[in-house]
Structure 1
Amino acid sequence: MAPALHISIPNASVATPAEGKPYTVYHIVLQLPLRKHEIRKRYTDFTTLHTELQSQTGSPPPAPLPAKSWIRKTVNNDSLTEDRRQALEKYVKAILEDNDPKWRSSSAWRAFLNLPSGTSTLHSNGSLSPTSRRRGSAGITDPNDWLEAHRDLKSHINAARQQLKSRDSAQSAQNQHALSADAKASLVRAAANIEQLDSGLRSLTSKQGNEAGWGKRLGDGEIRRRRDLVGAARKEVEGLEAVLRSAAPARSNQTSAPSASAAAAPEAKADLFRGASKPSGRVLGGPLKETERTRELDNSGVLQLQQQVMREQDEDVMSLGKTVSRLKDMGIMINEELELQNEMLGILDQDVERHQGKLDVAKKRIGKIS
């Protein structure tokens, strides 16, 4: 099952382009269980979305779009900006929480929020709704959509594999917990894609699918090939889930028990291909032996700890980015100084050549006198 999506517009700002007049942008925050993403849209983007939603669905969204003001401007009017921000937030939340999923299932809505094909949004009663009309209980029946979903599936599997590989080389238990949670989320998305792909193939070969003309788009050989792709992906996901359930080697225990970590590595690699039985008890997604920091935490506490670690990592990345920017500025200044020194050396070289010519003339004259 794909992760649920929550949306809000907490603030707005004024953008000043190099050419043109300043304008107001609204910060749209998309909140997932372990990640937060922000996009910025102008009021004209909302009006375009509103027009496309009506064109694609045949009916206006459940909440009205705030009217455009021809006299006042949001750039220099804070109260108008705040009123429009609240109205726009109510507008997008109404689309997200309405019982009818036709607006949030449209391509205009997904393109507006830059949503991937596997993202789901919430009904008003808390249940999940698919992002594509063709991805319902019958699965993905369109051949092109099926291939697109399969590419998404492979990307999720590759992401989980890389995250598990990074988990094994992590230097601390906190990083191992965070990478295990990311790998688990990727595997959950991959499993949801597998179910959609498998359901779509079953619909293509069913009696109702043949009567609807779905099965006529693909031959029997192509359907068998796609079934093999789904089966291979399912085995990969099961193997990666087995590796996820295995204990990641803790760096603090390597000196005291090197033989145990060395023995666990080949077993984890073997589990990737043969699978493993589901363990009993609570699974946090990290090492089986908990640390002092996570021992007293429940699942919610571990999730908060992971979010805190990710925020710290984001701050470190921002600090590193500032350092790199300063180094870049220093490199530009050094390059400019070197160019200036090269010009001065060129002038000096010309002066030396000029004086050398004068010395040669003086030597000839002295030779004639002597």
Structure 2
Amino acid sequence: MSALADQDQADHGRDQPNIERAGSASGGPAFTHTFANAAIGAAFARTGNRLAVVLANGEVAHLTLGEPGEPTRTVAHAEATLHWLATADGVITGGDDGRVVFTPFVGAPRLLLCEPGRWINALAFEPDTGRIAVAIGRSVRVVGEGAEQSRFETHPSTVAALAFTPAGEALAAAHYGGVTLHVFGRGSRLFARKGSMVAVTVSADARFIVAAAQDREAVTWPVAGGEPMEMAGYGGKPTSLSWAGDGRHLATSGADGVIVWPFDGRTGPFGRRALELAPERKELVTTVAFHPRLRRIAYGYRDGFAAVIDFKGEPQTVVEADGEAVAALAWSPDGLRLAVCGESGRVMVRTWPKPGLLKRLFG
């Protein structure tokens, strides 16, 4: 290979120097950095000024907002990061190297589990106890305090998604044929449905399980028993599921707008219509994220466009399309910053400088 080709290859692997601070239609300043690899996840530290960005190539990058300099990097996985989740203290990632790694906002990464030669299929985190659930093939392991606490091997197929109940007394595992709810110390129960389930979540009151199906529907089961509700109307798989801070509504991706289901009554969404937000753009919404306090939803599309909307207003643009899908959205704990991560490697952080500004702008 020539010296020129060597240089071209080296340049292709570097982050692009694309930092900007500017106003926007939503009134806040913006910070943008473009990585050489897809940005598939992000989490803010408690202070809101430090951002961990999960990259598809196995790295975790740390950005300190308002300070000059390039992001710092930590290698969590030798090759690809397959799954990730946010905690109050950092991010947990699972890779195709069989490793599950916790990378804190400050300090060195810590290996939580290692199964060489296996892929990590799904992760879930229970914040009250710090337990982590890990899916490897058909097996699910629950790890806490440095040791394996539980193992579930009864799934009929590869486990595609996991979710703890809010109080941590049970774990939902999505797979082909439905969702299995494992109640710790009391046994397991199958909530059956034909086809593959690819995402799962549990309502704040633990009365409903919601799963995204491979056949482009969302499915809700009452935990107490009864027939499931098929939630149709999606053009794609509704794999991004985000609860409102009060647990009364669930926002979903997979349509050409944001589909919001009500869970504020005794029967949840059963017999009720969903709220359809955002104008049609002839693109599918790939990810959604409820504001931690307000009735506002951030959402991103397959073409890279992202916006914020309330339950009745017009959307406020956060970032324009760049041709690559929005892979993740993250609000800071105080709700004054929003990070938009794209498969193009672009990470945009929008800041609303005053606590009341976001609420005034969005009604």
Please indicate the TM-score interval, normalised by the length of the shorter structure.
Answer: under 0.3
Question: Between Structure 1 and Structure 2, which shows a larger proportion of strand residues?
Answer: 2
User: Could you state the TM-score of these two structures normalised by the residue count of structure 2?
Assistant: 0.27
Question: Between Structure 1 and Structure 2, which shows a larger proportion of helix residues?
Answer: 1
Q: Which has the larger radius of gyration?
A: 1
